[in-house]
């Protein structure tokens, strides 16, 4: 027969070749994530990565992976990795290989270099060998430390080079070793090589493919494919490790390689491993060798239970079962109320089912912290591990532990802690990695079998170990001998007649005519621009082999900056007829695009019998992935790049297309869809199993089907449970034979545990796909959604708006929990504008209270003041802040588009203002609202409104109203344009609340930055809630993290903290961490600094417990220097003079302020017990203001204090009551460092009128290059102190800088006091530095007396957690009532008596 133009001349495993020489590469295997990713720094493992260029001609890039560097002086081995690819697939920088090599770098603690070599057909073999050799030589060029790549110069030990590769990368690895042995590698030494399933000769088809890719090959004996004995004998390394897989066609060639290497006379050591998994390997004799944990995992060591004095958490072990052995470790947090029952957390540790332990220090600490922070009883399960006890032992043991926990429901179980304190109606199950997998199995069993006496409320799966990675899947199946892996079965071909085709004896398939009504409409038409609707259409090619194309429909674009949702439509036709290009489906999808204002992509997939099932699924999946490829804006189709919002993708289809739609959302849930988010799916009269003729027809069209239970026709529960969308809409028709399968699908989906929302729409009296054949039918309009903004609302074609949340209503009432009363008031009946007013219980009927006007959120579309979340939230605010609250009900979009919400809110504000003179229509406001003390607040869209109202008041005025402040909670801001009137904001205080996991978080920080730059003269502060999402507080207004816009606490007092600056950076995301210093702070690449401690602020006050009064004073407004002053209330009348204590807070020079609860409470106690005046200095902190800025600021503060010596300073408390002849300095940690520094500076430079009597240094932060005794024993911690000092003081000369090492300060003997008390803690790494400081003083020219007090069994700044504990040790009660007389020279217990 004559050959066709596109006849295939060669077909190999990875590509085919056509007669004209064209090479068509196949896709990578389905289990390999071939999507390329950029290098990044992994916050979990600490591995950093970047790309480097070895050569431009030819192009040879590499990706370098650097593990965390604990010791900069220590060089690490180097691993050169050659990826597999069949010599032709572009997967070197894919997600899979990035993960493999990064993991190797982390776990083996090596620098890894992954090579991207030239691929066939662009660069035929031997390009791959030459490129890899060039990469190895490039690595060796760093031997002198002057190569082009700093990471290799600084950290690589090139006398310990390893080369590894898998598949064809293993083949290349051999060739590199041969060249090293033959030609040498100056400057470097290759120690060993690892060949994983190497690609060698011995499989005919593979051999032929290699020879085709290598035009200059030497035939079947080519030494690159069949290594010659002389090449083997001179391999340039000492050890070779070869892995082979039993079911791999390369098993025999790989095994032969080892045998030939042994016989060659090579002097090294070679080892063959038959099974290699991530956590263990199996030898031919069946021996299992577990790998050691990563080098950093010293926390693998088991520890005994103990009671933690820091957190108060107690722990003990209990036995669940002896045969088999199952035990648990129980953690009990402090019990403050013995009658209170606590939730239970059952925790399953990770470790690949074969390592780790509930009793390891790592998991002990993890679960103990969870118990402390979440206030739960935690039970950590010690289950059986492979190989001692193969899977399913882990599942059975964990199930036994859960049942054992539940046995305590009656209060008579074997464990007292659970009987007395556990609430078994609030059980949570959690686990990480393998433990996450076990967690799923447990909650599945609870759903299936129940758990008598107990209730599982929730589950937490942390990085769960599920199927999807081939190596992990194979490992699990090996560990579980009785796994349920299945092989598909085929049906025999038979002669049959089906609804859409018949089959003859010779196998011929005859398609039958489509239904008569569809025959004319089935004719294909070309894409066109519709002048009526304005919808444009065009065709695009997704793939040529196999042929997959799509038709794209673009509605009129009125705003080019606005992105539109995308609808992927999959047509019906029994998997064997119809087309996305038919007039029927062209018109149907074009109409949808016009009416719903979406970009629609209609898929032309392969049909039976030309392309049997599963072609339809694979083609549609390819189309969906093609759509997602436009997420970066650089895909092949401009319409999608410019206008598609790929975070709002919908998938829909009718009949067979409905079936395919289900499979697509299942695959999205299983495999993910990088760059895109599928919001919802619509299945119209879906073709599912349950009708015998249809089932048989589908199975005939799908030769590799799995029978009547095939999950594509009868969706399995596990597939339903993981659907990759949030909402599903299913249509069924009463007269359709698929009515029951479609209805059953909805029922099974509801029962599956899937977390989304499903809705069933029934078309009564109608048949299958009536809308396709009669688009004008009235019933067809029922499922024509114009706009779908799930989970907020849907707008239908008929104009109906369906709000999906925020619809419930709570009537106004007297709230029994808060005693707050509420009522509704109509402001404009015509415009439906009203308010709900809240008032707390009043002891004084004439009392005036601050007024809060609140604007609810809901994207301008949903919610009201009367919905349960907002009613409850306002009750909580009004009760806690003791204010009057007015919650505004404005009209909502889309019926009333923005800016109507702003106008209604302005109307409400003017109505509120009408009460300022006491003559308004509402008595609560007339009598009790203080219009000189008004605040605005709102969340999300309501915060947007509050902001606009603040600007409008500043621009237009609001007579009688003084706007004190505005609180914006999780503000809904977007875009690039700036309001020119922003500087007119009509208040002096703004509080912006953001949540760490909220997409809008950065907009809140950016708003702060805009305010500071726009000319507005107020104070703005940002508060960030850790671990929370958008408007989390509405679901739990009593949460400790809940942002309560309370005037008296947040907006009524100036805050002298200096929050970090924040700059919007388009090149860096908010989550990219540049420096992580737990538990102190994080510095992000975009410049934002996130302090993890010491950020909470208390206002100055009269403390009711100590009777100490405090106030804040500004020392330098320009530099942000201030102080908080403390005075005993009993000080009056003015003639009484008291000693003066100047205090410098700690915090590593990075965190804390005098206004934090810790230091505020500490100073209250000091001032009360010692009867002194306290000045707590607020200095600027690093890293924004590096050391020594804090020392200079503190010196400025001291000079300001000294300005009061003559009684003429700016502060009356100091003028009237401070005795400047009795001044003391004190500080803790970094503050003690500052106190010492200032004592020396006063002694050197003087401070007129001030006499320093003594200095107290509590756990002082001193350091030095030469380690002291305990520091040498704790080298890792000591290294961190060195690093922390350099971080806070980049300009330092090192750890012997006189600022940090007083032993290097030549002026130490000038210390300007006669007494020094140094307090140290037994367990503190800095303890010896405190003793050393005393030794230095004693040896210096200083003539005073220094004493050291050491606190046993305590650690660094323990007293900050309990100020009373501190004073019981440092300021004993026997001195409390004595006036300040003198420094007691013989008492190591106090400095002031």
- By annotation, the residues acting in catalysis are 1229, 1324, 1356
d(Cα 789, Cα 861) in Å, to the nearest integer? 10
Query: Rounded distance, CA 626 to CA 1184, Å?
Result: 45
CB atoms within 10 A of CB 497: 12
Query: Which H or E run contains 1123?
Result: strand 1121-1128
Show Cβ contacts of residue 1118 under 8 Å, excluding neighbours closer than 6 positions. none
Cβ-based neighbours of 1074, under 8 Å, separated by 6 or more = 1083, 1084, 1085
| Phi, psi (rounded to 5 degrees) for 1287 | -65, -45
Buried b / exposed e across 373-406, counting CB within 10 Å, b at 16+?
A: eeebbbbbbbbbbbeebbbbbbbbbbbbbbbbbb
CA distance 464 to 437: 5
Distance CA 112, CA 806 (A): 53
Distance of CA 233 to the CA centre of its chain: 52
Tokens describing residue 1325: 């790494």
Q: What's the CA gap between 483 and 479, in Å, rounded?
A: 9
| DSSP single-letter state for residue 1240 | H
User: Measuring CA to CA, which residue among 687, 631, 658 is closest to residue 568?
Assistant: 658
SS3 of 1158, please? helix
Residues 194 and 197: their CA atoms lie apart, in Å, by 10
Task: Identify the sign of the CA torsion 699, 705, 711, 712.
Answer: negative
Q: Cβ-count burial of 688 within 10 angstroms (0-12 exposed, 13-18 middle, 19+ buried)?
A: buried
Report the C-alpha gap between 142 and 157 in whole angstroms: 10
Name the nearest CA neighbour of 604 among 541, 683, 665: 541
Contact 399, 393 (CB under 8 A): no
Hey, how many other C-beta atoms are within 10 angstroms of the C-beta on 1035?
A: 12
User: In 3D, which of 44, 26, 162 has the Cα closest to residue 103?
Assistant: 44
Longest dimension (CA), the chain: 120
The residue among 409, 469, 396, 403 whose CA lies nearest residue 438 is 396
972 and 859 Cβ atoms separated by less than 8 Å = yes
DSSP state at residue 506: T
Angle at 855 between CA 854 and CA 858, to 5 degrees: 140
Q: What is the CA radius of gyration of the chain?
A: 37
Would you list the DSSP string of 340-371?
A: --EEEEEEE--STTTS--TTBHHHHHHHHHHH
- Angle made by CA atoms 362, 367, 369, in degrees to the nearest 5: 95
Measure the CA–CA gap between 1090 and 216, rounded to whole angstroms. 60
Tokens 């192009």 locate to 59
Tell me the two tokens of residue 1104. Answer: 């009711």
**Residue 1230's Cα: distance from chain center in Å?**
32
Q: How far is the C-alpha of 1156 from the C-alpha of 1327, rounded, in Å?
A: 25
**CA atoms of 553 and 1154, how far apart (whole Å):** 62
Contact 850, 934 (CB under 8 A): yes
Place of tokens 């697939």: 89
């Amino acid at each position: 027969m004559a050959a066709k133009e596109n006849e295939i001349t060669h077909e190999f495993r990875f590509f085919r070749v056509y007669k004209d020489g064209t090479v068509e590469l196949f896709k990578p295997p389905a289990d390999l994530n071939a999507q390329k990713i950029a290098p990044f720094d992994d916050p979990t493992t600490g591995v950093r990565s970047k790309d480097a260029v070895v050569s431009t001609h030819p192009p040879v890039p590499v990706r370098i992976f650097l593990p965390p560097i604990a010791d900069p002086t220590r060089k690490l081995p180097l691993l050169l990795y050659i990826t597999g690819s069949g010599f032709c697939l572009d997967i070197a920088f894919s997600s899979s290989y990035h993960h493999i090599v990064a993991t190797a770098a982390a776990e083996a603690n090596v620098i890894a270099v992954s090579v991207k070599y030239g691929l066939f057909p662009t660069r035929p073999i031997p390009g791959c060998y030459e490129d890899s050799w060039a990469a190895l030589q490039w690595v060796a060029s760093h031997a002198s430390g002057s190569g082009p790549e700093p990471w290799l110069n600084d950290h690589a030990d090139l006398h310990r080079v390893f080369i590894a590769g898998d598949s064809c990368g293993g083949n290349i690895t051999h060739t590199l070793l041969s060249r090293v042995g033959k030609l040498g590698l100056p400057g470097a030494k290759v120690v060993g090589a690892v060949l994983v399933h190497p690609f060698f000769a011995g499989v005919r088809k593979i051999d032929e493919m290699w020879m085709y890719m290598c035009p200059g090959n030497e035939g079947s004996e080519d030494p690159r494919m069949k290594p010659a004995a002389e090449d083997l004998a001179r391999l340039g390394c000492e050890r070779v490790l070869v892995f082979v897989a039993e079911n791999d066609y390369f098993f025999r060639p790989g095994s032969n390689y080892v045998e030939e290497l042994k016989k060659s006379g090579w002097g090294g050591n070679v080892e063959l491993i038959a099974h290699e998994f991530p956590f263990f390997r199996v030898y031919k004799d069946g021996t299992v060798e577990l790998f050691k944990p990563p080098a950093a995992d010293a926390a693998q060591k088991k520890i005994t239970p103990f009671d933690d004095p820091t957190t108060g958490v107690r722990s003990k072990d209990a036995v669940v079962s002896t045969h088999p052995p199952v035990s648990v470790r129980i953690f009990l947090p402090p019990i403050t109320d013995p009658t209170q029952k606590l939730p239970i957390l059952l925790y399953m540790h990770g470790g690949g089912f074969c390592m780790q332990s509930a009793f390891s220090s790592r998991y002990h600490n993890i679960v103990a912290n969870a118990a402390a922070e979440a206030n739960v009883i935690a039970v950590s399960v010690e289950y059986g591990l492979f190989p001692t006890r193969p899977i399913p032992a882990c599942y059975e043991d964990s199930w036994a532990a859960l049942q054992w926990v539940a046995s305590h429901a009656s209060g008579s179980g074997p464990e007292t802690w659970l009987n007395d304190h556990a609430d078994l109606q609030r059980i949570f199950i959690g686990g990480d990695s393998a433990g996450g997998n076990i967690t799923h199995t447990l909650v599945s069993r609870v759903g299936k079998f129940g758990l008598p006496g107990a209730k599982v409320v929730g589950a937490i799966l942390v990085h769960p170990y599920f199927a999807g990675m081939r190596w992990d899947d194979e490992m699990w199946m090996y560990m579980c001998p009785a796994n349920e892996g299945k092989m598909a079965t085929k049906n025999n071909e038979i002669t049959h007649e089906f609804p859409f085709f018949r089959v003859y004896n010779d196998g011929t398939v005859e398609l039958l005519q489509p239904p008569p009504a569809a025959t004319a409409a089935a004719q294909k038409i070309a894409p066109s621009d519709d002048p009526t609707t304005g919808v444009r259409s065009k065709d695009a090619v997704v793939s040529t082999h196999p042929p997959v194309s799509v038709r794209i429909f673009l509605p009129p674009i009125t705003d080019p900056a606005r992105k539109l949702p995308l609808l992927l439509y999959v047509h019906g036709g029994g998997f064997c007829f119809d087309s996305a290009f038919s007039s029927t489906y062209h018109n149907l999808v074009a109409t949808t695009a016009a009416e719903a204002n979406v970009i629609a992509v209609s898929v032309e997939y392969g049909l039976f019998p030309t392309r049997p099932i599963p072609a339809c699924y694979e083609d549609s999946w390819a189309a969906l992935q093609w759509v997602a490829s436009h997420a970066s804006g650089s895909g092949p189709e401009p319409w999608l790049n410019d206008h598609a919002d790929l975070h709002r993708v919908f998938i829909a289809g009718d009949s067979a297309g409905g079936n395919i739609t289900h499979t697509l959302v299942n695959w999205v849930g299983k495999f993910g869809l990088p760059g895109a988010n599928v919001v919802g799916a619509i299945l119209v009269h879906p073709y599912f199993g349950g009708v015998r003729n249809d089932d048989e027809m589908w199975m005939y069209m799908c030769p590799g089907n799995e029978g009547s239970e095939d999950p594509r026709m009868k969706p399995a529960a596990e597939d339903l449970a993981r659907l990759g969308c949030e909402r599903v809409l299913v249509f069924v028709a009463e007269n359709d034979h698929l009515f029951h399968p479609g209805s059953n699908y909805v029922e099974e989906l509801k029962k599956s545990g899937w977390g989304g929302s499903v809705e069933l729409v029934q078309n009564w009296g109608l048949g299958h796909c009536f809308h396709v054949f009669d688009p004008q039918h009235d019933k067809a309009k029922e499922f024509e959604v114009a706009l779908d903004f799930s989970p907020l609302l849907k707008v239908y074609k008929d104009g109906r708006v369906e709000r999906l949340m925020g619809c419930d209503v709570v009537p106004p009432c007297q709230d029994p929990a808060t005693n707050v009363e509420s009522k509704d008031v109509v402001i404009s009946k015509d415009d439906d504008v009203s308010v709900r007013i809240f008032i707390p219980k009043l002891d004084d009927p004439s009392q005036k209270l601050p007024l809060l006007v609140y604007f609810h959120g809901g994207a301008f579309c949903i919610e009201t003041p009367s919905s349960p979340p907002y009613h409850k939230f306002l009750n909580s605010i009004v009760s806690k802040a003791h204010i009057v609250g007015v919650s505004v009900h404005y009209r909502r979009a889309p019926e009333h588009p923005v800016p109507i919400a702003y106008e209604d809110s302005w109307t409400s504000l003017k109505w509120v203002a009408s009460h300022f003179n006491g003559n308004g229509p509402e008595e609560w406001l007339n009598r009790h609202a203080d219009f000189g003390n008004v605040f605005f607040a709102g969340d999300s869209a309501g915060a947007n409104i509050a902001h606009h109202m603040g600007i409008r008041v500043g621009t237009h005025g609001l007579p009688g109203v003084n706007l004190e402040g505005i609180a914006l909670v999780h503000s809904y801001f977007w875009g690039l344009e700036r309001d020119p009137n922003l500087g007119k904001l009509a208040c002096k205080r703004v509080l912006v609340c953001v949540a760490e996991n909220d997409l809008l978080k950065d907009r809140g920080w950016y708003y702060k930055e805009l305010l500071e730059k726009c000319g507005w003269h107020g104070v703005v502060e940002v508060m960030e809630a850790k671990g929370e999402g958008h408007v989390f507080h509405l679901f739990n207004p009593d949460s400790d993290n809940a942002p309560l816009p309370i005037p008296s606490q947040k907006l009524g007092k100036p805050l002298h903290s200096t929050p970090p600056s924040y700059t919007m950076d388009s090149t860096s995301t908010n989550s990219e961490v540049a420096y992580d210093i737990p538990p102190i702070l994080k510095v992000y690449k975009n410049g934002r600094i996130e302090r993890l401690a010491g950020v909470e602020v208390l206002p100055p006050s009269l403390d009711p417990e100590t009777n100490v009064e405090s106030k804040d004073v500004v020392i330098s407004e320009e530099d942000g220097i201030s102080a908080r002053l403390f005075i005993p209330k009993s000080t009056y009348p003015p003639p009484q003079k008291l000693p003066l204590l100047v205090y410098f807070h700690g915090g590593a020079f990075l965190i804390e302020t005098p206004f934090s609860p810790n230091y505020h409470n500490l100073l209250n106690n000091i001032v009360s017990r010692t009867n002194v005046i306290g000045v707590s200095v607020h200095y600027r902190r690093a890293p924004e203001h590096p050391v020594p800025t804090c020392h200079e600021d503190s010196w400025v503060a001291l000079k300001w204090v000294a300005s009061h010596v003559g009684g003429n300073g700016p502060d009356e408390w100091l003028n009237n009551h401070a005795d400047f002849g009795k001044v003391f300095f004190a500080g803790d940690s970094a503050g003690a460092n500052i106190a010492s520094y200032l004592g020396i500076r006063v002694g050197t430079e003087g401070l007129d009128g001030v006499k320093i009597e003594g200095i107290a240094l509590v756990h002082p932060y001193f350091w030095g290059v030469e380690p002291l005794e305990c520091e040498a024993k704790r080298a890792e911690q000591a290294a961190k102190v060195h690093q922390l000092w350099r971080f806070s003081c980049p300009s330092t000369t090192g750890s012997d800088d006189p600022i940090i090492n007083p032993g290097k300060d030549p002026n130490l003997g000038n210390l300007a006091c006669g007494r020094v008390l140094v307090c140290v803690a037994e367990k503190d790494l800095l303890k010896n530095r405190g003793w050393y400081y005393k030794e230095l003083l004693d040896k210096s020219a200083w003539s005073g007396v220094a004493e050291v007090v050491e606190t046993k069994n305590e650690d660094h700044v323990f007293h900050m957690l309990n100020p009373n504990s501190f004073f019981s040790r440092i300021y004993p009660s026997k001195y409390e009532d004595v006036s300040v007389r003198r420094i007691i020279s013989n008492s190591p217990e106090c400095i002031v008596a």
